[in-house]
C-alpha cells in the first residue's frame, strides 16, 4: 500500500509555496514515489512545468488546483483532473474564479464535473458538495499537521461516516523540508506586509506542512489506513496525456458577404 501526495504547493502558490515544480518532482523521485500531484492555490501556472518534469522523471503527474472562494480564503477544495477533459475543466474553473467577481462555491458545486475529483478538509464545503451532483467524486480530506487541522479532521471524519463519503489522507505541503518553514514564514510576512512576529498561526502553514515520506504519513494515519489506500486509488483514477508543442489557432468565422468581397478582390 503506497501513499501519494495529492495536496502540494510550489512557488506558484505565490508568497506561500517554497519549492519549484522541478524540485518537488525530484523529491518525489528520491522518495520512491510513483505519482505526485501539484495543487497550487487558485493558480495553474506551474502545471505544465510540473507535467514535463514528471514525464522526464517517469513519475505519474496528477494535475490539480487548490481552490478558494472569492468571499472567504479560509475555506478550500482540492480539484484533481481525472483526464485531459478534466484539465480543460480546471482551466475553465480557474478562469471563472479569477475573472468573475460573482464566482462562488455554491455556483461551482451546482454544476456536474464528472472529470474531476473533489477533496476538502472543511466541513461546510463538504456539506455543500454532498448535497450536489459531485458527491460521487468527493473525498473527505484528513490533514494531521497541527492541533487545529487534527480537530477539523475529526469533524470531517464524523461527517464522512454520516454521509458515507470515503476518506483520503494528505499533508497540504508547502515546502520540502522542515527547515524550509522559515522561508515559508518570510514569504507569508511579505504577502501580508507584516513582521514575522505579528503573523498569526492561521496565516502560516504548520511546521509539519512539509513533503513527508510514505512511512511518516502511514504512521501519522495508522488508525485510518483506508485514507492512505485511497490516495493510491485516486492516483490510479487520474490519467492525463497532454498534447503539447503544437500551435492552437483560434477558429474565426468570416461573415459570408465579407468572405465574398475578399475572394472577388484578390
- Domains, the chain, ranges and CATH? 21-265 (3.20.20.140)
Going by pLDDT thresholds of 50, 70 and 90, the confidence category of residue 1 is confident
Q: Which pLDDT belongs to residue 245? A: 80
* pLDDT tens, position by position, 229-240: 999 999 999 999
How crowded is residue 124: how many other Cβ atoms within 10 Å of its Cβ? 11
Q: Is there a contact between 123 and 90 (Cβ–Cβ < 8 Å)?
A: no
**Sheet containing 167-170, strands listed edge to edge, beginning at the edge strand earlier in sequence:** 35-38, 60-67, 77-81, 116-120, 138-143, 167-170
User: Within the chain, where are the H helices?
Assistant: 21-30, 47-57, 84-99, 105-110, 123-130, 147-163, 181-192, 214-220, 225-236, 256-265
The pLDDT mean for the chain works out to 93
Q: Which pLDDT belongs to residue 68? A: 95
Going by pLDDT thresholds of 50, 70 and 90, the confidence category of residue 249 is confident
Residue 264 has pLDDT above 80, yes or no: no
Task: Name the one residue in this structure whose C-alpha cell is 515520506.
Answer: 213
Going by pLDDT thresholds of 50, 70 and 90, the confidence category of residue 132 is very high
Residue 248 has pLDDT above 80, yes or no: no
Going by pLDDT thresholds of 50, 70 and 90, the confidence category of residue 265 is low
Q: Which pLDDT belongs to residue 74? A: 76
Q: Which pLDDT belongs to residue 252? A: 79
Local structure of 67: helix, strand or coil: strand
Averaged pLDDT for residues 197-220 = 94
Between β-strands 60-67 and 35-38, what pairing exists: parallel, antiparallel or unpaired?
parallel
Averaged pLDDT for residues 144-160 = 93
> Residue 84: left (phi > 0), alpha (psi -120 to 50), or beta?
alpha
Q: Which pLDDT belongs to residue 239? A: 97
- The whole model's pTM is what? 0.91
Q: How far apart are CA 78 and CA 121, in angstroms?
A: 9
* pLDDT tens, position by position, 84-130: 999 999 999 999 999 999 999 999 999 999 999 999 999 999 999 99
Amino acid at each position: 500500500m503506497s501513499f501519494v501526495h495529492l495536496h502540494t504547493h510550489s512557488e506558484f502558490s505565490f508568497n506561500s509555496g517554497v519549492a519549484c515544480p522541478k524540485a518537488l518532482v525530484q523529491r518525489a523521485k528520491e522518495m520512491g514515489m510513483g505519482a505526485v500531484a501539484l495543487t497550487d492555490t487558485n493558480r495553474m501556472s506551474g502545471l505544465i512545468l510540473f507535467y514535463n518534469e514528471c514525464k522526464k522523471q517517469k513519475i505519474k503527474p496528477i494535475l490539480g488546483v487548490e481552490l478558494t472562494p472569492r468571499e472567504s480564503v479560509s475555506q478550500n477544495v482540492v480539484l484533481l483532473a481525472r483526464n485531459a477533459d478534466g484539465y480543460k475543466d480546471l482551466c475553465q474553473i480557474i478562469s471563472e474564479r479569477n475573472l468573475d467577481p460573482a464566482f462562488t462555491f455554491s455556483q461551482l458545486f451546482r454544476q456536474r464535473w464528472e472529470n474531476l475529483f473533489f477533496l476538502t478538509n472543511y466541513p461546510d464545503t463538504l456539506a455543500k458538495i454532498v448535497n450536489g451532483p459531485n458527491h460521487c467524486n468527493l473525498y473527505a480530506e484528513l490533514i494531521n499537521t497541527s492541533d487545529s487541522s487534527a480537530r477539523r479532521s475529526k469533524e470531517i471524519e464524523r461527517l464522512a461516516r454520516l454521509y458515507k463519503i470515503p476518506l483520503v489522507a494528505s499533508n497540504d505541503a508547502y515546502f520540502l523540508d522542515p527547515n524550509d518553514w522559515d522561508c515559508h514564514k518570510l514569504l507569508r510576512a511579505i504577502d501580508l506586509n507584516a513582521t514575522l512576529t505579528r503573523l498569526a498561526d492561521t496565516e502560516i502553514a504548520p511546521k509539519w506542512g512539509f513533503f513527508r515520506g510514505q512511512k511518516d504519513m502511514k504512521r501519522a494515519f495508522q488508525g485510518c489506513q483506508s485514507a492512505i489506500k485511497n490516495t493510491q486509488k485516486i492516483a490510479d483514477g487520474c490519467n492525463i496525456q497532454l498534447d503539447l508543442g503544437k500551435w492552437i489557432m483560434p477558429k474565426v468565422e468570416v461573415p459570408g458577404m465579407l468572405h465574398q468581397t475578399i475572394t472577388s478582390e484578390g
